Amino acid sequence: MGCSTSASTATTASAPTPSTQGEELALTAPTPGHLETREAPDAALPEFDAEQLASLPEAPWSEAPLAVTQAPADLLAAWARAENRDWCAPIAPAALREVAARAHRLDGGWSVEFDQAGMPGVDEEGELCAECGRGTFGIAGTAMGVDDMMDTPAPSFADGSAADVAPVEGGVAAATIAIRGQGCVYQVWSFLGEEHLESLVGQLRFVAVQPRGDAQVAGLDLPF
């Protein structure tokens, strides 16, 4: 998928900690007028040479965005309540089969995990499991900026986005992704191995949500 595997380009050499060890997000409507926001980090991806970008693959998220009805409701609900929702657009896999999504709290950002029966993951006590199927893979839009997560980002895709793959650790394969035009850094992980992680990243698409005010989000002006 054009991702760098050099540990020197990522400040997080280990895989992100799956948020199954954190608190699940209760998907109830927040109080109108009380949705907090957070300012975007100042750092952004550097501009890269056009000739360098021309030889790279197209970014998966350059494809047509998903309709809101095609994205997991828990993912959209987590994003709608996140403090970084104005500068960290929701992304979701284009195809999901036989999985259940669960939203989780993430400081300043949003996170969703996907359960898949009989597959490896992390149990409710935060321990690795071979077949519990809990948190088998996941996606997070963090409140961290590029300079917090990547030392020297190099382009991985033709749009100038950067992706670093961490060495497999604790049974989880993980990627840290900075998408051109977004103020946040995304993390994607899978307990199904590097091949599944690569497939997962290759399916990522933006979700076609419309800008909305706090009152609309608090009132669940969303398709779920």
pLDDT digits (tens, 9 = 90+) for 107-133: 999 999 999 999 999 999 989 999 999
The SS3 call for residue 73 is: helix
In terms of DSSP bridges, do strands 91-93 and 100-106 run parallel, antiparallel, or are they unpaired?
unpaired
CA nearest to 79, candidates 133, 4, 25, 42: 25
Q: Band of the pLDDT at 2, cuts 50, 70, 90?
A: low
Give mean pLDDT, residues 133-151.
Answer: 92
pLDDT above 80: residue 31: no
pLDDT above 50: residue 56: yes
Q: Which helix (H) or strand (E) holds 199?
A: helix 194-202
pLDDT above 90: residue 221: no
CA nearest to 165, candidates 155, 151, 181, 177: 177
pLDDT above 70: residue 217: no
**What pLDDT is stored for residue 147 in this prediction?**
85
Cβ atoms 25, 75 nearer than 8 A: no
**What pLDDT is stored for residue 44 in this prediction?**
83
Using CA atoms of 93, 96, 99, 104 in order, give the dihedral in degrees to the nearest 10.
20
Give mean pLDDT, residues 133-140.
Answer: 96
Note if the pTM is more than 0.75.
yes
**What pLDDT is stored for residue 3 in this prediction?**
52
Q: What is the pLDDT of residues 82-105, one digit of tens each?
A: 999 999 999 999 999 889 999 988
**What pLDDT is stored for residue 65 in this prediction?**
96
